[in-house]
């Protein structure tokens, strides 16, 4: 089968199309014919960072080639002895084995059935593949951690990106008043997602306009930021919150000093939120699947590439300025 292998840690040019064996499945796995793959900034991070790769690949340690990728949609073509959830021909999607070895940049992949859900028939493979890690992160941030509800004033930083564009749609689904923040070029896109207001972070400091938000979803790390100091992005986000608000950080790990200060000054709860498969993972992706099928959330696909163009896709994802999702098809 064709797969994209990582020749060695480094730039996107190290991602190479190669012929490798079709994987054999374990008892709890299914063999998937991959129809669409999505990528995230962490893919580029793993590609260029030896420590991250070591962490991913020591989970199994039986790899012959380094193949990245965690987000797929595809068709079940073989089931393991103990895999009872799906039958041959089922169409499903999911983010699996994160942050271990998933090997999804390929024509076929072995996936643990417990981490996948059926794809709604009215949703394309490309749409479903996008709504995996990024949508699960938005869900973890706004629904599980912040418990967004009708009437909440919610600020979404990075509103035009992979996570952010789902976050805007999810917050609107729950009836929130949504303020999207991205660069001015993406204003129409973010308002088109039904955000109620837009701020251009390049020309406007949101904290100069808003100090009564219920929830901030912060997806920004600015080089040099140390979380306990006053001029970091997280500290600026804190200023936009009302007393008792929620600050969900999906990038920066707030230190204890910052967490204590936010509590003491404004009774704000701050947490770094991660997408990690846990006992509720299946429920979360089923909820996302439901919202996809009713059209309440849509995946905006800014780039649709053949698998062979993975290096090109990585060039884009590492700019940190992706609009919506980048999807690849084998
Ligand atoms: N915690 C987790 O489990 C988890 C999971 C997934 C992703 N993440 C992290 O979350 C971040 C966002 O992921 P993503 O997939 O959405 O990335 P992405 O698709 O590259 O989107 C980045 C977004 O950030 C915006 N942005 C850049 N600088 C900004 C600033 N100073 N203020 C406000 N917005 C700014 C960009 O807007 P413009 O293009 O308009 O400039 C773009 O909308 C990444 O750092 C990623 O690694 C964390």
Q: If you compute the radius of gyration of the chain from its CA atoms, what whole number of angstroms results?
A: 20
Strands 197-200 and 177-182: parallel
Q: Where are the domains of the chain?
A: 2-131+299-329, 134-272
Instruction: State the closest ligand 1 atom to the C-alpha of 317, by its place in the atom list counted from 1.
Output: 20
2-131+299-329 and 134-272 share one CATH topology?
no
| pTM of the entire predicted model | 0.97
**Chain centroid, CA 309 distance in Å:** 21
Which is the CATH superfamily of the domain at 134-272?
NAD(P)-binding Rossmann-like Domain (3.40.50.720)
φ and ψ at residue 69, rounded to 5 degrees? 105, 135
Q: Which pLDDT tens digit goes with each residue over 270-293?
A: 999 998 766 678 899 999 999 999
Ligand 1, atom 13, lies closest to the CA of 163
Residues in the chain: 330
More confident residue, 327 or 226: 327
Ligand 1, atom 20, lies closest to the CA of 320
Question: Is 179 within 8 Å of 155 (Cβ atoms)?
Answer: yes
Instruction: State the closest ligand 1 atom to the C-alpha of 324, by its place in the atom list counted from 1.
Output: 19
The average pLDDT across 297-323 equals 98
Fold designation for 2-131+299-329: Quinone Oxidoreductase; Chain A, domain 1 (3.90.180)
Q: Which pLDDT tens digit goes with each residue over 36-81?
A: 999 999 999 999 999 999 888 876 666 678 999 999 999 999 999 9
> Which residues are near ligand 1 (CB < 6 Å)?
40-42, 133-134, 137, 157-158, 160-164, 181-183, 186, 201, 219-220, 250-251, 273-275, 320-322
List helix spans (H) across the chain: 41-48, 50-58, 125-130, 133-139, 162-173, 187-192, 233-239, 256-266, 281-294, 310-317
Cα–Cα distance measured from residue 156 to residue 163, given in angstroms and rounded to the nearest whole number: 10
């Amino acid at each position: 089968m064709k797969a994209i292998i990582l020749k060695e840690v480094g730039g996107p040019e190290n991602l190479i199309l190669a012929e490798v064996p079709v994987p054999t499945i374990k008892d709890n796995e299914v063999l998937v014919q991959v129809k669409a793959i999505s990528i995230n900034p962490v893919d580029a991070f793993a590609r260029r960072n030896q420590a991250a790769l070591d962490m991913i690949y020591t989970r199994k340690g039986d790899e012959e080639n380094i193949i990245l990728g965690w987000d797929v949609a595809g068709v079940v073509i073989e089931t393991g002895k103990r895999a009872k959830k799906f039958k041959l021909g089922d169409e499903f999607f999911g983010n699996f084995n994160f942050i271990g070895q998933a090997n999804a940049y390929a024509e076929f992949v072995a996936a643990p059935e417990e981490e996948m859900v059926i794809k709604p028939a009215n949703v394309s493979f490309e749409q479903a593949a996008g709504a995996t890690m990024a949508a699960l992160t938005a869900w973890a941030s706004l629904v599980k951690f912040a418990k967004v509800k009708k009437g909440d004033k919610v600020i979404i930083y990075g509103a035009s990106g992979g996570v952010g564009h789902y976050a805007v749609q999810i917050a609107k689904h729950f009836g929130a008043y949504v303020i999207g923040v991205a660069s001015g070029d993406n204003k129409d896109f973010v308002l088109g997602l039904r955000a109620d207001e837009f701020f251009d972070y390049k020309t406007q400091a949101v904290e100069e306009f808003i100090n009564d938000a219920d929830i901030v979803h912060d997806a920004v790390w600015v080089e040099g930021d140390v979380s306990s100091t006053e001029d970091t992005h997280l500290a600026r986000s804190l200023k936009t919150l009302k007393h008792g608000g929620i600050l969900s950080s999906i990038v920066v790990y707030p230190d204890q000093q910052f967490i204590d200060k936010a509590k003491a000054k404004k009774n704000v709860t701050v947490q770094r939120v991660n997408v990690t498969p846990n006992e509720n993972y299946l429920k979360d992706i089923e909820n996302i699947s439901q919202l996809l099928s009713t059209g309440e959330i849509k995946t905006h696909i800014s780039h649709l590439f053949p698998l062979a163009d993975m290096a090109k896709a990585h060039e884009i994802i590492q700019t940190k300025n992706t609009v919506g999702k980048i999807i690849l098809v084998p």
